[in-house]
Amino acid sequence: MSMHVEGQGARIELVNLEKQFEGVVAVRNTNLTVQPGEFLTLLGPSGCGKTTTLRMIGGFEYPTGGSILIDEKDVAALPPYRRPINTVFQQYALFPHMTVARNVGYGLEMAGVGKAERDRRVGDALAMVRLANVEKRRPSELSGGQQQRVALARALVNRPKALLLDEPLGALDLKLRKAMQLELKELNRETGATFIYVTHDQEEALTMSDRIAVMNEGRVLQLGTPAEIYEQPVDRFVADFIGQSNLIPGTLEARDGDRCMVRIPTGGLVEARLRDEPAVGASVVVSIRPERVILQGQPAESLDGSIPATISEIVYLGSYNQLVLHATPDLRLIVTAPTDMPARPGDSVHATIPSRYATCFAAE
Amino acid sequence: MSAIPAARSRRFSLGSVSLTVAAITVFIFLYIPLAIIVLYSFSGEVVNVWPIGSYTTRWYGEMWNDSQIREGILLSFRIGLIAASIAIVLGTLTAIAVDRFDFPGKSLLRFCVVLPITLPGIVTGVAMLSFFSIMGMQLSNRTIIIGHVTFCITLILNNVVARLSQIPRSLDEASADLGATPWRTFWRVTFPPILPAILSGGILAFTLSFDEIVVTLFLKGRDATLPLVIWARLRRGFSPEINAAATMIIAVSFVAVLLANRVSKWAGSS
């Protein structure tokens, strides 16, 4: 495809952005810079403010505070039709009384592009999203996946500096969703446009994004690459929301810089990276990913960080097994293990928590 | 086959038979009087007698030659068209305001606009008559039109609001997102889907106005609409061209309702 345009993407900056609906704060004091051409995902549970943030960038909601800069120009007060960006809506929002060609050509028509040029670009855009021979059909005659592609083509045909996507894959089945995730990533590279993507699906976010902004209760909790978000969550919410995490309660025993020792309910000590600033003696939580826990039949060399436990359940998941361990009746650990590991429910094992993958947060 | 499905199917057929009988009775009740009027309008006799001996179309010719009836027909058409047109503009604008915008007193406005159609015509008639006399307005065809517009608006409003509520807001947003000003969004995205609702509402409003008699009676000036001419004639005794005039009203209503139905179907398919 010859649509590759270098440096077409816009830099989008949110400065102290805030939105209240009749006194209820939906987005609070948000600062965020999206680089030109970047694929940035706003990720969070429903009601976290991610959609409101996207709608403010698109111009469908006006902020109650702060500014939105697109290539250094404040657009916060501009209506949607004066912004150089386009949106792919959650339910696609295709015009039901127009053919696919009219739908896709709508933006060009509004911009006063001539018929011949319009037809050519509509054809190109439909080819880019891999749709053929649907120009004359109505949206209602297309499958969900095809409607999704028409919505994409309708936005991309205008060569927007940024594309806003509001959970666009939510209505598709799993297989189609996976395929579209890869295609969206490709389109992001091909067009050079900045993509801002809203989803509550953490797996989707990890797959596609250059960077992820994890949001909760109207604020951005952490902004970083998928690896940073996954490996070094800044707080307990992020650790819990992204992927699976074991959250082990304990007491802060000692600290030195960003390292610390935590006494856990088994009586053992676990070393971890310290995220918050709890005092020694305070209640804390140690977070560790299931696949980072090391299982051994024998206790490790150093007893520190090695937790004796009993296997209570083994779940076969195809490429790996998921094991549920109990160290104490209340302390449950989820770990993953190769499917060929000889283990059975009731076996005693030792779970080692590698200090460089463990993170310690202040308990709430 | 066991006995249970057989029993169920017999009960079902008993039910369906009585339903069919009820439906036919209602149908006869509604349409026999109309059919008889239509038949009489072609009767060769000078009085309504049964059975009809001979058939003729002369009453239609006489009806058209009767200047009072002819002018009544033309006036009813004119008032119907004007009242429906004014109601289309006002009703559609109100529908858009009610559906797309939030403002204080919105539900009150909605209620106030729907009220006239539920009010007995005599109340509307008396109220408007005293209003016009307070305002010092001469009764004329214009006052009839104003009276008719009050209940015609309701038909358009209800029709258009129902259609608008089926159009997702996100279509407006998508249109704006693609560079269309609100004005262009209205004509390109909102108007095409509500056009059938406007038209079918307009046609029904026209038929309502065309044979309206109570409000018209209070608000009329010198000229009489077709229903008023018929009414006045019947008071003076029967004349056969009245059957022809009544048949014409039936025909106009029939065609209009058919048309409105067609237009709504067309809306459903697009």
Q: Is residue A4 part of a domain?
A: no
Distance from A36 to chain B by nearest Cα, in Å? 20
CATH superfamily of B65-269: MetI-like (1.10.3720.10)
State the pLDDT confidence band at A110, using cuts at 50, 70 and 90. very high
Residue B270: predicted pLDDT: 45
Domain final residue, candidates A195, A216, A236: A236
> Which among A86, A96, A111 has CB closest to B177?
A86
Q: Cβ of B174 and A60 within 8 Å?
A: no
Q: What's the whole-number average pLDDT of chain B? A: 86
Structure tokens at A222: 């952490």
Contact B159/A at CB under 8 A:
no
Q: Is residue A7 part of a domain?
A: no
Distance from A134 to chain B by nearest Cα, in Å? 17
Q: Chain B 162-201, CB below 8 Å of chain A: which residues?
A: 168, 170-171, 173-181, 184, 188-189, 192-193
More confident residue, A173 or A32: A32
Residue B39: predicted pLDDT: 87
Beta carbons of B129 and B219 less than 8 angstroms apart:
yes
Residue A147: predicted pLDDT: 94
Assess whether A203 and A269 both reside in one domain.
Answer: no
Q: What is the CATH number of the domain that holds A38?
A: 3.40.50.300
Three-class DSSP labels, A235-272: CHHHHHHCCCCEEEEEEEEEEECCEEEEECCCCCEEEE
Assess whether A295 and A230 both reside in one domain.
Answer: no
Cα A85 to Cα B73: distance, rounded to the nearest angstrom? 58
DSSP-based three-state secondary structure for B104: coil
Distance from B179 to chain A by nearest Cα, in Å? 4
Mean pLDDT of B35-44: 86
Task: Give the up-direction half-sphere exposure of residue A269: CA atoms within 13 A in the CB hemisphere.
Answer: 11
pLDDT tens across A313-333, in order? 999 988 899 999 998 888 999
Structure tokens at B77: 């058409």
pLDDT tens across A268-293, in order? 889 999 887 888 888 999 999 999 99
Overall number of domains in chain A:
2
Q: Cβ of B177 and A106 within 8 Å?
A: no
- DSSP assignment letter at B85: H
Structure tokens at A146: 């095809």
State the pLDDT confidence band at A7, using cuts at 50, 70 and 90. low
Indicate if the pLDDT at residue A311 is higher than 90: yes
Query: Which of A106, A121, A156, A163 to mutate to probe the B interface, most B CBs <10 Å?
Result: A106
- The torsion angles phi and psi of A143, rounded to 5 degrees, stand at -75, 165
Mean pLDDT of A62-87: 94
Beta carbons of A262 and A290 less than 8 angstroms apart:
no
In chain A, the residue whose alpha carbon lies closest to the alpha carbon of B182 is A81
Domain final residue, candidates A236, A264, A288: A236
Indicate if the pLDDT at residue A1 is higher than 50: no
Domain final residue, candidates A182, A206, A236: A236
Indicate if the pLDDT at residue B1 is higher than 50: no
pTM of the entire structure?
Answer: 0.80
Indicate if the pLDDT at residue B108 is higher than 50: yes
Structural domain harbouring A297: 244-362
Mean pLDDT of B161-168: 90
> Which among B170, B178, B192 has CB closest to A110?
B178
- Chain B residues in contact with A105 by the CB 8 A cut-off are none
pLDDT tens across A236-259, in order? 899 889 888 899 999 999 988 889
Residue B2: predicted pLDDT: 46
Q: Cβ of B189 and A59 within 8 Å?
A: no
Residue A4: predicted pLDDT: 45
In chain A, the residue whose alpha carbon lies closest to the alpha carbon of B173 is A60
Assess whether A249 and A124 both reside in one domain.
Answer: no
Residue B253: predicted pLDDT: 87
What are the residues facing A333 on neighbouring strands?
A325
